[in-house]
Amino acid sequence: MLTVAEQFAATDTGRQRRANEDSLFVRAPLYVVADGMGGAQAGEVASGVAVAQFRDAPAASVAAEPEAALVRTAQAANTRIHELSHANPDQAGMGTTLTAAYVGPSDVVVVHVGDSRAYRLRDGELLRLTDDHSLVDELMREGRLTPEEAVDHPQRSVITRALGPYEEVEVDTRNFQGRDGDLVLLCSDGLTSMVSEERIAEILAEGGALERIGRALIAEANRAGGRDNITVLLLRLRDVDGGVAGNGAQGDADATSEMAVASPPPRGRLTPRTAEIPAAQAAVPRPRRNVTRARNLLIAGSLIALLVVVGLYEAIQSIYFVGTNGRGLVTIYQGLPYKLPAGVPLYSTVYVSGVPASAVPAHARTQVLDLHGRSEQDAREVVRGLELGHFE
């Protein structure tokens, strides 16, 4: 049976923040880290709502089906934060990241949204258990940005998924079978943005009491500049024949983090006016000698219409424009930014970037998202410039 032999949890304001918007929750076998965002005290509210939702989750239902229960709890927290952000102007746009772990009898379940992280150290090897939902990391995963380009990317703090900004949220999950001696780390990005994974692995591998390790991680982040709040939660697993996971106590709670969440971008589509086509008049009977002429005219007219349609299609295929898709991501389209009366679009998707429209600087939006016809090369250069942060 898997149990928690030792645990440590602490949060620190860091060196450049005046408040702490990180929150954590420790009650074996459930552990939660949340990094709030939204400015003023809104981020603190958002992260607090998230951990409270997990605190109040029925223990029996979580134990019966951990993964499904934790996903439902995260989605309930999302709904609550979203409602509060719309009800209170001071909390408009607030959100929070979330990383939670549940230690079951044999497996550890991790649920995740945002750029807080979960790691596992086993046999000296550090494995990241979560993917960051951030603009820069998504661009790197898709091969559109190199790690070197990501280091100083002007939009590196833009979060693409969090609890609160939207009515619905997708929650990532991961399960792994625990082993005796596994070390699990949950942390906010105040640690990982300051300390490399290689250095984190070195500190974790040094061994000793988890409190010493946790304090060392926080100190390392502060030595590197401490630009954000730093939250560290450590668990040491043990595989035993029986026993109960130890109770945990929350560490220092004097810190908070402020990060920008992309607000829902406009998703409208242009629908052009269409002229009403008058109904064709009834055919007037003609002498038989005119039937052949009428048929020839009809054939000629059909051919002309076909040539016009083909020419128009070819012309449309040479036109590109930049807009946003249904998820609010900057997208390259081929064709014209219009729909026919039946709702049939005159465009098709060519390329979807990882850049939210809300991440485009205000002064550049009219230049980028203008829906004007471009060449394919021009459209791709504009979007690539966004991905590399050239429109700062």
With a pLDDT cut of 90, the percent of the chain lying above it is 49
Assign 354 a pLDDT band (cuts: 50, 70, 90). Answer: low
pLDDT given for residue 212 in this prediction:
98
- pLDDT value of position 374: 85
- Confidence band for 323, pLDDT divided at 50, 70 and 90: confident
Please say if the pLDDT value at position 214 is more than 60. yes
Q: Please write the tens of the pLDDT for every residue from 364-386.
A: 766 776 667 788 888 888 887 87
What would the pLDDT profile of 146-198 be if each residue is shown by its tens digit? 777 776 666 666 788 999 988 999 999 999 999 999 999 999 999 999 999 99
Helix (H) or strand (E) holding 51: helix 42-55
Q: Give dist(CA 60, CA 245) in Å, integer.
A: 16
Q: What does the pLDDT look like over 22-33, one tens digit per residue?
A: 999 999 999 999
pLDDT at position 190 is 96
Laid out side by side, the sheet with 230-239 consists of 2-12, 230-239, 183-187, 117-122, 125-128
R_g of the chain computed on alpha carbons: 28
Domains defined along the chain, listed by start: 2-239 (3.60.40.10), 289-387 (no CATH)
Residue 282 has pLDDT above 60, yes or no: no
Mean pLDDT of 245-262: 35
Q: Is the pLDDT of residue 361 over 80?
A: no
Secondary structure element (H or E) that encloses residue 336, with its range: strand 329-339
CA distance linking residue 38 with residue 208, whole number of Å: 37
Burial class (CB in 10 A: 0-12, 13-18, 19+), 63: middle
Cis bond before residue 89 (omega within 30° of 0): no
Q: What percent of the chain has pLDDT over 70?
A: 73
